[in-house]
């Protein structure tokens, strides 16, 4: 285990993204499962199906089995990440496993589904050379869906994989935490680091001082005219 991964792994008890619903730890293995909120939805669907089945039990007796199957799927499927590799357990198809020597990347589809991807040597070389045409022809050697994994799961995956899977989430959050949000009068907001904010504040104060000086000069210029009118 690398020192960086060890430091991050030791703080998992205090980091909410690596604990809580959908994430469990068994030794050094992280187990990610679909949200248990799906079970509540399955129960509601089951009750609705029972009402529907009541119209004709002989024909629709099988309908309540669908939400029960979905509930069983929610409880059974999972993604396991640990020192040996990354794997997925399914209910209706063969389980998948990929060791870290095969592993290439985590891929997210437009719908948000996460996949573990391994590419052959030729495709990897084409990707490194930024040759999309060749890499597309080579295709993927192995690609399978990871149940219970979302983009926010990358924090947990990075810790469980000992840094083999990058964690852009924490980096982005830390970077945002170190910045100051400035909201302009028109409602436009921008994030600035400490140096940028210091320059911004210096410029703002200089502009305010200039406006104040201009206002005082104008008031002083108007005072003699007011005195003459009063005389």
Same domain? 184 vs 173: no
How many other C-beta atoms are found inside a 10 Å radius of the C-beta of residue 179?
Answer: 15
Nearest in space to 104 (alpha carbons), one of 88, 89, 121, 83:
121
Alpha helix positions (H), the chain: 3-10, 37-53, 57-60, 65-76, 121-128, 132-138, 154-160, 168-177, 194-230
pLDDT score at 180: 65
Q: Is 56 a domain residue? A: no
Same domain? 163 vs 188: no
Q: Is 161 a domain residue? A: yes
Q: How confident is the chain (231 residues) per 10-residue block, as mean pLDDT?
A: 47 50 86 90 92 86 92 94 93 91 87 84 59 50 86 88 83 60 67 72 80 78 58 52
Q: Are 219 and 207 in contact (CB under 8 A)?
A: no
Q: Is 164 a domain residue? A: yes
pTM strictly above 0.95: no
Same domain? 153 vs 191: no
Domain that holds residue 185: 180-230
Same domain? 114 vs 170: yes
Same domain? 123 vs 161: yes
Structure token pair of residue 204: 């703002």
Q: Is 70 a domain residue? A: no
Structure token pair of residue 145: 């869906």
Same domain? 28 vs 107: yes
Integer CA distances (angstroms), 105 to 8, 65, 70, 76, in order: 21, 37, 29, 25
| Residue where one domain finishes, among candidates 158, 177, 196 | 177
Q: Is 54 a domain residue? A: no
Same domain? 128 vs 196: no
Instruction: Specify burial of residue 7 (Cβ count, 10 A radius: 0-12, 13-18, 19+).
Output: exposed
pLDDT score at 102: 85
Alpha-carbon Rg for the chain, nearest whole angstrom, is 30
Q: Is 211 a domain residue? A: yes
| Residue where one domain finishes, among candidates 142, 157, 177 | 177
Q: Is 63 a domain residue? A: no
Same domain? 187 vs 145: no
Our count of domains for the chain comes to 2
| Residue where one domain finishes, among candidates 155, 177, 199 | 177
Nearest in space to 122 (alpha carbons), one of 106, 136, 108, 101:
136
Same domain? 184 vs 165: no
DSSP β-ladder status, 85-89 and 78-82: antiparallel
Same domain? 110 vs 140: yes
pLDDT score at 3: 46
Distance CA 94, CA 215 (A): 78
Distance CA 143, CA 89 (A): 14
Q: Give the HSE-up count for residue 78: Cα atoms under 13 Å, Cβ half-sphere.
A: 16
Q: Is 7 a domain residue? A: yes
Same domain? 186 vs 158: no
Same domain? 84 vs 185: no
The label of the residue with tokens 């792994």 reads: 9
């Amino acid at each position: 285990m690398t020192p960086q991964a060890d430091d991050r792994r030791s703080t998992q008890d205090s980091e909410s993204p690596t604990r809580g619903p959908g994430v469990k730890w068994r030794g050094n293995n992280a187990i990610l499962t679909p949200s248990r909120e799906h079970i509540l939805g399955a129960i509601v669907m089951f009750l609705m199906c029972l009402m529907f089945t009541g119209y004709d039990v002989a024909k629709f007796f099988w309908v309540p089995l669908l939400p029960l199957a979905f509930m069983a799927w929610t409880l059974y499927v999972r993604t396991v990440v640990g020192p040996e590799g990354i794997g997925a357990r399914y209910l209706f198809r063969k389980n998948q496993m990929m060791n870290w020597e095969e592993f290439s990347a985590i891929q997210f589809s437009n719908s948000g589904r996460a996949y573990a991807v391994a590419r052959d040597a030729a495709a990897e070389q084409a990707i490194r050379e930024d040759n999309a045409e060749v890499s597309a022809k080579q295709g993927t050697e192995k690609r399978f869906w990871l149940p219970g994994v979302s983009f926010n799961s990358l924090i947990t995956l990075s810790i469980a994989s000992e840094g083999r899977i990058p964690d852009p989430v924490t980096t982005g959050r830390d970077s945002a935490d170190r910045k100051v949000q400035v909201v302009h009068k028109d409602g436009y907001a921008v994030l600035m680091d400490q140096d940028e904010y210091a320059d911004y504040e210096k410029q703002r104060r200089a502009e305010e001082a200039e406006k104040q000086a201009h206002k005082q000069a104008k008031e002083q210029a108007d005072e003699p005219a007011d005195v003459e009118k009063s005389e």
